[in-house]
Amino acid sequence: MSETPKQPERDVISREEDEAWFYSDIVKDHFFNPRNFLADESAYQDAAQGIVGSPACGDVMKVWIKVDPTTRRITEMKWKTFGCASALASTSILSVMVTENGGLTLDEANKITPRDIVERLGGLPTRKIHCSVLGDQALRAAIEAWNKKAL
C-alpha cells in the first residue's frame, strides 16, 4: 500500500478556504536574503534605469544595469521593489540570472521570460505569477535605456 504524499504546510492561507499558497524555499531565501538590492541610488546615477509598476497589485520595480560597452554584457544589476514577497524574490533572482557567470549579453537578457524567472524560483502561487512579469518588463526598460544612451 502506497502512502499519500504529505502536503507541505501552507505559507499563506487565502481567504478562500479551498486555496493555499506555497512558496518554494528559493522564493523564501530571496525574500529574506535579497541579492543585489540597491540601498543608495546616488551610486547608480549613471546606470541605465528601468521602472515599471502595476496599478492592479501596487507593485513597483526599479532596475539599474551597468553594461560593459565592449562585450555588451550586464556587469551589474541592482534593484528596488515595492511589493509582495513574490515581487521581491522575482527581482532578486532576476538580478542573479543576468549577472552570473560573467553576465548575460543585452540580447540574451532581453530574451528572459517571466516563465524563466518563475522556473528559477521553483514556482510561484498562480495568483502571484504577474509579479515575475514586472521584473521582466523593468529589465527590458533598463536595456532600452542603455541602448538609447549608447547611441
Q: Which residues belong to the active site?
A: 57, 131
Structural element, H or E, at residue 63: strand 60-68
One-letter amino acid for residue 42 of the chain: S
CA atoms within 13 A on the CB side of 77: 33
Would you call 64 helix, strand, or coil by DSSP?
strand
Distance set, CA 4 to CA 1, 7, 20, 21, 40 (Å): 10, 9, 18, 20, 50
DSSP type of residue 44: G
The answer to whether 94 and 64 are in contact (CB under 8 A) is no
Structural element, H or E, at residue 62: strand 60-68
